[in-house]
Structure 1
Amino acid sequence: MVRKIFTFKNKKHMPTWLAGLLAGLVKLIATTYRLRVEDPHGWLTRHEPWPIIVPIWHNRILFLPALAPRGFLERMVVLISASRDGGYVAAFVRFFKLRVVRGSSSRGARAAFLALSRELQAGYSPILTVDGPRGPRYTVQHGAVALAMRSGAPILPIALNAPKRWNLKNWDGTQIPWPFSRVTLRLGALLFVAPGEEREAAAERVRQALLAINED
């Protein structure tokens, strides 16, 4: 619907004013939420080991920059698709002062993988929408697993859960929690991937860990 309403001269980039407007709207709505953080394994207290690799479902990332603790986000880097829609998301995310790497499994995969490997070496932790950029929903691509194998960094599954929400009618069912409702940021247990582990099996472990912290 947004693509029908707005026509951009440069279709790969969202105008700065619009990205700022959307970011401001998300921040404003997020202030109304009753946020609860569930970290049963205490990673937010220790912040160790570091860096980590953070998988999240595509339909839950919209409000993450506004709700996650600043100490959690300040050393994160977000992988965003190299597509036109990804350009809009990148413009939005930068208003939250997050680092961005462009690329996906379908476009610029090798360059993105190498860039994320360098970010890990520099001490930044990648956030990946593991079922993106186009699904299927709740499947796990192999990028996070491959990064874990190469770097030795552990994987920390996270989820934003909102019992009262709207679901957009797109492929991932993007979740928008109702204003003034309860939202839970839930962290799972760290997962370690051995260098010789079969990727499909490792990806399934990540998938099950993410599903385990979903409320839906």
Structure 2
Amino acid sequence: MYITAFRCTIDAIQKALLGVMSKTDHSNGCQRMLSLDPRCEELSLSNLLSLLSRKEYVSPNSYTAFFYRPLNAPDFVCMRTPLEDGWQTLFNVLSLELAVESYRISTSSGRDDFYCFQSYQQGKERVVYLMKDTKWIFYEKGERLAFEQSDMYAKRRIIDRLNEPMLLDYLLQVGLNARDSLFYHSEDNILVFYCTWES
């Protein structure tokens, strides 16, 4: 699971993406932006991809990001993407380009256990993660934010220091209730950004 959010408007995201596109060489491919009408559908990744395929063809090797304003968090724009890492590079680039509060959580369980919280505020990055490599590793970088459950970071067992409910609580503290179904609905058009490269 990946949840990414920026405290800004869709217009600000579009302007930042245009800025990013102008700074990058795309001689072997292209980048496009377009708008989709969500028609009150739940903004699951499969529904978003379906909306996009109804509008135009996108090759399977494309990098795609959907930006929408959640019904229950109108001050934020969230990003969804089918990329396995949640397109962390795009999150980092946009966070620096926009210079607004931005938040990203990621969780995975199974063969590669991983829990991560990342934030940019006034250009300062904050990262906390817990991952299982050959052993459990806990890492943090940057100043702790007031809402973090810092007492958990001191737990003796490393595996107990960060988990999915904590990450969702962190988002809730900044005004993002990802446990509420309204978080996955929007009344506004969805901005789609995608890159395709020739093979």
Q: Do both proteins adopt the same fold according to a TM-score greater than 0.5, normalized to the shorter chain?
A: no
More helix by share: 1
Question: Scaled by the length of structure 1, what TM-score is found?
Answer: 0.28
The one of the two structures with greater contact order (alpha-carbon pairs below 8 A, sep at least 6) is: 2
